Structure 1
Amino acid sequence: MKRIACIFVFLLFLAPDISSALGVEVAVGGWGQSPDGYVGYKAITQADNLDLGNDAKYDDEFRGYVRAKFDLPLFLPNIYLMYTPMEFEGTGQKSANFKFGDQPAFTAATDFYSKLVLDHYDVAVYYGIPFIETLTGDRLSAEFGINVRIIDLSAQVTQGSYDESTSQTIPMPMVYIGLRVQPFKWLAIEAEGRGISYDDNSYFDYIGRVKYHPFKMPMKSLYIAGGYRHEQIEIDEKDIKADLTFSGPFAEVGLDF
């Protein structure tokens, strides 16, 4: 996954150089992630699942993220890249013995340390829906495409001499839909949705954003933005079962080229 991260960083730094030929938007921000739900690894019963709040005692976390959009000419699809890190750790207890992985059993009423990582990398190709901007005088636009989300998942539980961990890379194809309403040149309201559901897996990601353009620079437009993001995840892959939600407000600053 380090190679994928390097590609993302390279593309983001490349954006100003190609802005003369393409429309480019680059933004960095921070998201307050509030975790909820459970995760289990080789769980036999429901009692083996770890509740993120009650058992693992995870707190809310504030993580940075980056994203970039490339508006390509002619009939080429546009590109949307986004990297969202997600990591939680804590020390908790369960009221009953539980199984996590191949260890015989973790002990009830005894502290254990756990860590959950769900970093994800998004690559979307999309088209703007024709004529909407023209018919509305650039006040409304809509986008539709395909998003591939690569989830870099790892989970670890440690208690005394017991230490169990697992890691997987899970690619998920998703539908991408975007909508923007711009009543004034200095104000825009945006909504994004990504989602997929198949077998016992599903992933839905919703983003609402308000952008404010305080001033315009030559060839560039600086903006600040705030909003809310909600992710709902169900995973049943290779002995990992999880039903998770992450939600909270975010803020970002960006440039339109």
Structure 2
Amino acid sequence: MKKRLFYSAVLTSFICPTLTYAMGIEASAGFWNQDPSGYIGYKVQSEADKIDVNQNLGYGKKTKPIGRVKIDLPLFLPNIYVMATPMKFDGTGKKDTNFTFGGKTYTANQTFYSEVKADHYDVALYYGVPFLKRLTQGVLNIEVGPNIRVLDLSLKVQQGSTTESKKLTVAIPMLYVGAQVQPTKFFKAEGEFRGISYNSSHYYDFIGRLKVYPYGPLFLAGGYRYEELKVKESDVDTKLKFKGPFVEAGFEF
């Protein structure tokens, strides 16, 4: 909770001074139905130490709140896009072979409790492709820029008195690319990509969104989101995928 408050304070302090000069703002909140898959591992010694999210941990779909804000700035200042995505899964599972997690041994066919958290917060600074929106009479817009994702990853496995956990908070530089197609003032289709690949790790995030504008600046939106995270650093060997539909409500000025 303290970390969430800290990140929120940083983002707010960064954004607020610019609001006076902003040419446009978009804000929305909603819910994402997250369907997890993949595996987790900490100080992995063999394939048996990779713990499957569905078969061993027993995780299923969870719906979590999401929120985002976009600010279009005038002149040559970069536009700002911030987004918050909470993620947390926990449950009781079982594995049919002995395995280690963080160097500690867990017994086969005995239940264990686990917890995986992968909260992340994005800040992108982007520009639109020059003159594209004007040339297409407002129908097409493409945005490109750097994105920083702060990932708060934590893993925990507990079986009886045997407990091990690992926390990893990293700021990940990514590429942001966004596109919007608006054939009428009542409808807009959007796509977003954030991603990076380095060494044996990668992180990809794809978002597709459809918006309808029932009244004035208000909009309702629905879409689909897919994330893939592979981490091999600080003794963490983890590959996670999250996918599923989402809904949003918000406004644009």
Match of 1:39 in 2: 40
**1:1-257 alignment, distance < 5 Å:** 1-2=3-4, 3-8=6-11, 14=16, 18=19, 21-103=22-104, 105-216=105-216, 221-257=217-253
In structure 2, what is the Cα distance between the partners aligned to 1:77 and 1:5? 21
Structure 1 counterpart of 2:149, which letter?
A: R
Q: Give, in whole Å, the separation in 1 of the partners of 2:209 and 2:220.
A: 10
TM-aligned CA deviation for residue 56 of structure 1: 0.2
Q: 2: CA distance between counterparts of 1:83 and 1:184?
A: 29
RMSD of aligned residue pairs (Cα, Å): 1.6
Please tell me the residue identity of whatever aligns with 1:252. E
In structure 2, give the amino acid aligned to 1:6. Answer: A
TM-score by length of 2: 0.95
Name structure 1 gaps, 5 residues minimum: none
- Deviations along 1:131-186, one digit per CA (max 9) or x if unpaired, are 11111110110000000111000000010001111101022111110000001101
Cα deviation for residue 11 of structure 1 reads 6.6
Shift, 1:5, TM fit: 2.8
**What SS does the corresponding residue of 2:106 show, helix, strand or coil?**
coil
CA distance in 2, matches of 1:43, 1:90: 21
Structure 2, unpaired ranges of 5+:
none
CA distance in 2, matches of 1:188, 1:148: 26
- Measure the CA separation in 2 of the matches of 1:9 and 1:65: 16
- 20-29 or 45-54: bigger deviation: 20-29
After the TM superposition, which of the residue ranges 18-27 and 61-70 deviates more from structure 2? 18-27
TM value normalised by structure 1: 0.94
SS of structure 2 residue aligned to 1:53? coil
Tell me the SS of whatever aligns to 1:7: helix
Percent identity (aligned): 45
> Structure 1 CA distance, aligned partners of 2:50 and 2:23?
48
Measure how far apart 1:21 and its partner are: 3.7
Q: 2:99 is paired with a residue of what secondary structure?
A: coil
In the TM superposition, what is the alpha-carbon distance from 1:6 to its structure 2 partner?
Answer: 2.9
Which one-letter code corresponds to 1:205 in the other structure? D
Deviation at 1:10, TM superposition (A): 6.2
Give 1:24 shift.
Answer: 0.7
Letter in 2 for 1:165: S
Instruction: Say how many residue pairs are matched.
Output: 250
